[in-house]
Amino acid sequence: MAQVFDRGLVLALKIGTLVAIALTATLLVSWRWSIDYPNAQGAPPQQPLPFSHQHHVRDDGIDCRYCHSGVEKSAFAGMPGSNVCLTCHSQLFRDSPAFAPLHASARTGRRLQWTRVNDLPDFVYFDHSAHVSHGVPCKECHGRIDQMPLTARARSLEMQWCLSCHRNPGGHLVSPAAVFDMNAQLPASRAERRAQLAHYDVLSRKWLTDCSTCHR
């Protein structure tokens, strides 16, 4: 019998195999990417009006708690009602078109619909008050919000990211006074870290990685 596979065919087969492998790989990757979070990290989502944390926090120096009033007491940091915005903006930039939705909502009583930037799955129970009261500064999760003209997600919010802090929180804690300070210094030395842990009484942090700490 003659050769079943001449040299050319063999070559073709080899190339074909490689191509097939590459193709499946790309397909898998793109699929994984497609099922990722809706608001990509670093990309500010569309909002009803172009609110700038940079302006309010850095330029005006407004405290986080002025608008997010629940952050120390509740799981939900709280979003300012239109009336809160209007305490200033009934006077400032009244006629700027950008503020039309705000005034409209105040007039009609129809609520503003903000797109959630840091969206956790429904089976995750994050509690702002718990973190704030234990000295986790805003910036640890929200990044330098004071440098964001438009608000975007600063962290991956994946479980491994949560765990990275829950496993050894020491390096992420600041003094109670500094929690809302965007320039707060994180403890550098081992000693400082232990000091913070001791201060917030999380020396035994077994329960920090309990499933039940975040999932119910």
Partner 1 sequence: MASYGMLAEFASADELLEAARRTRAAGYRRIEAYSPFPVHGLVEALGPHRDRIPLLTLIGGILGGAGGYFMQWYSAVISFPINVGGRPAHSWPSFIPVTFELAVLGAALFAVGGMLVLNGLPTLYHPLFNVEAFELASRNRFYLCVRCSDARYDAVEVERHLESLDPLLVQEVPA
Partner 2 sequence: MHDRKYDAGADDLDAFAQERRRVLKLMAAAAAMAGGACSGPPPEKIVPYVDTPEQSLPGKPLFYATATRLSGYGTGVLVEANEGRPTKVEGNPLHPASLGATDVFSQAAVLQLWDPARSQTPLRDGRVATWDEFLLDTENGLRELDASRGDGLFVLTGAVCSPTLQSQLEALHSRYPGMRWHQYDPLHRDNELRGSELAFGRAVDTRYSFDRARVVLSLDADVVSAAPHSVRYAHDLASLRRPHADRMSRLYALESFPGLIGARADHRVALPPADIERFAFRLGRDLGVAPAVVGDSPAPSFEKALVDDLLAAGAAALVLPGPAMPPRVHALVHAINHRLGGQGQTFEHTPPVAFKPVANVESIRTLADAMRAGRVRMLVILEGNPVYDAPADLEFAARLRTVARSVHLSAYADETSAYCRWHLPRVHEFEQWSDVRAFDGTASIVQPIIAPLYGGHSAHELLNVLLRSGAAAHDTVRGVWQRTFGNTDQDERWRTALRDGVIANTRAAAVTLAPELAESIFSNPPPPVDLAINFVADQSVRDGEFANNAWLQELPRSMSKLTWDNAAYVSPSTAARLKIASGDEVELRRAGRTVRAGVWVLPNHADDCVTVPLGYGRTRAGPVGDGIGFDAYRLRTLDAPWHGSVELIRTGAQRLLVTTQHHSRMEGRDLVRTATLAQFARNPQFATDEEIEKVPEHTLYPDRPYDGYKWGMAIDLNACIGCNACTIACQAENNIPVVGKEQVLRGREMHWIRVDRYFHDHDSGVDFQPVPCMHCEHAPCEEVCPVGATVHDSQGLNVQVYNRCVGTRFCSNNCPYKVRRFNFLQYVDRTQESLKALRNPDVTVRERGVMEKCSYCIQRIQRGRIEAERLGRKLRDGEVVTACQAACPAQAISFGDLNDPGSAVRAAKASPRNYALLAELNTRPRTTYLARVINPRPDDTEE
Partner 3 sequence: MAKSVAPALEPTQPPARQTYASVSDRIADLVLKRRSRWPWFLGFTLALLCMLAFCVACAVLFWKGPGIWGVNIPVAWGYAIGNFVWWIGIGHAGTFISAILLLLRQHWRTSINRFAEAMTLFAAGIAGIFPVLHLGRPWFFYWLLPYPNVMELWPQWRSPLVWDIFAISTYLIVSLLFWYIGLIPDLATLRDRAKTRGRQIVYGLFALGWRGEARHWARHQSAYLLIAGLATPLVVSVHSVVSLDFAIGNTPGYHSTIFPPYFVAGALFSGFAMVLTLAIPLRHFFRLHDLITLQHLENAAKVLLATGWLVAYGYLCEIFMAYYSGDRFEMYVVKDRLAGPYAPVYWALLVCNVLVPQVLWWRKARRNVALLFVLSLVVNMGMWMERFLIVVSSLHRDFLPSSWGMFHPTGWDWTHLIGSIGTFALLFLLFVRFLPAISIYEIREQLHEQRKEGA
- The site partner of 6 among partner 2, partner 1, partner 3, none (C-beta below 5 to 8 Å per kind) is partner 1
Q: Which is nearer to partner 1, 66 or 207 (CB)?
A: 207
127 touches partner 3 by CB under 8 A = no
Q: Count other Cβ atoms within 10 Å, centred on residue 148.
A: 21
> Rounded distance, CA 134 to CA 169, Å?
10
Kindly state the number of chain residues that form the binding site for partner 1, as judged by CB under 8 A. Answer: 12
Q: Is 138 one of the binding residues for partner 2 (CB under 8 A)?
A: no
10 binds partner 1 (CB under 8 A): yes
CA-CA distance, 57 to 92, in Å (whole number)?
A: 16
| Sites for partner 2 among residues 61-80 (CB under 8 A) | 69-70, 72-76, 78-80
Q: Does 2 contact partner 1 by CB under 8 A?
A: yes
Quick check: 209 binds partner 1 (CB under 8 A)?
yes
**Among the listed residues 86, 194, 196, the one whose alpha carbon sits nearest the alpha carbon of residue 136:** 196
Nearer to partner 3, 164 or 185 (CB): 164
Q: Which residue has the tokens 């799955």?
A: 121
DSSP code string of 85-113: HHHHHTTTTTT-GGGHHHHHHHHH-PPP-
Residues 113, 160, 183, 189: which binds partner 2 (CB under 8 A)? 113
**Is residue 161 part of the contact set for partner 2 (CB under 8 A)?**
no
| Closer residue to partner 1, CB minimum distance, 1 or 177 | 1
CA distance 95 to 181: 32
Phi, psi of 170 (to 5 degrees): -40, -50
Using CB under 8 A, list all residues that contact partner 3: 1, 4-5, 13, 156, 158-160, 163
